[in-house]
Homo-oligomer: A and B are copies of this chain.
Amino acid sequence: MKTTILLYDRMTALDAVGPYEVLSRFPGNEVLFVADRAGPVRTDTGFLTLVADASLDEAPAADIILVPGGFAPPLRTGPVHEWLRAADAASTWTTSVCVGSLVLGAAGLLAGRRATSHWMTLDNLTGYGAMPAAERVVIDGKYATAAGVSAGIDLALTLVGEIAGPEAAMAIQLGIEYDPAPPFEAGSPAKAPDPIVAFLRENRDLVVRL
């Protein structure tokens, strides 16, 4: 099995690395990080560089395609979208985390599909003909989308369960000791105190720029 994860300038590190940690532990799965050009990619908060091992042109067909979110995701028509459409034509699963779903949408892949995104950008999906669903992980056919940033871990475990059954997913979950215990109850706009939700809505640029 092959998995390809797209990197781009100012993408969000955890969007890619959360699913990577799960998918790279799936026996026989080869994961490849790709970008416009092979080489270093600086992530959104500015202190971490991940490396793309291949350019889009060099990337072989893959069973799973994953598009992470980022501060300024590639939404204008360009080579990333051309590549995505070709990669999607060959994939078994086309997936995204956070505003990565908007990139899939901009490539024309989510028309008529249920999909999710970061809670602040969920409504933007309608601009691409998708049906927004405020859920942690949404599967519609071969398209699997996750909510914001950390939701990619739940997405990847769900995928492994779909592909290889619950035992495989549970073994990986136990391996990465994914027994989350957030010290606060503020992970969704429904749970966070109203002033915190308002603060983020008013300072949207802290999270994403579309």
Instruction: Report the Cα distance A157→B174, complex, angstroms.
Output: 21
- Residues on B with C-beta less than 8 A from A13 are 17, 20-21
Instruction: Report the Cα distance A173→B47, complex, angstroms.
Output: 19
Determine if A189 is an interface residue (Cβ-Cβ < 8 Å). yes
Residues of A at under 8 Å CB distance from B? 12-14, 17-18, 20-21, 24-25, 30-33, 40, 45-51, 53, 98, 118-119, 136-137, 147-151, 153-154, 157-158, 161, 166-167, 169-171, 173-184, 186-189, 191-193, 195-197, 199-200, 206-207
B173 touches A158 (CB 8 A): no
Instruction: Report the Cα distance A157→B182, complex, angstroms.
Output: 7
Q: Which of A31, A118, A158, A181 has the most B CB atoms < 10 Å from its CB?
A: A181
- Residues on B with C-beta less than 8 A from A196 are 167, 170-171, 174
- Residues on B with C-beta less than 8 A from A12 are 21
A210 to chain B, nearest CB (A): 15
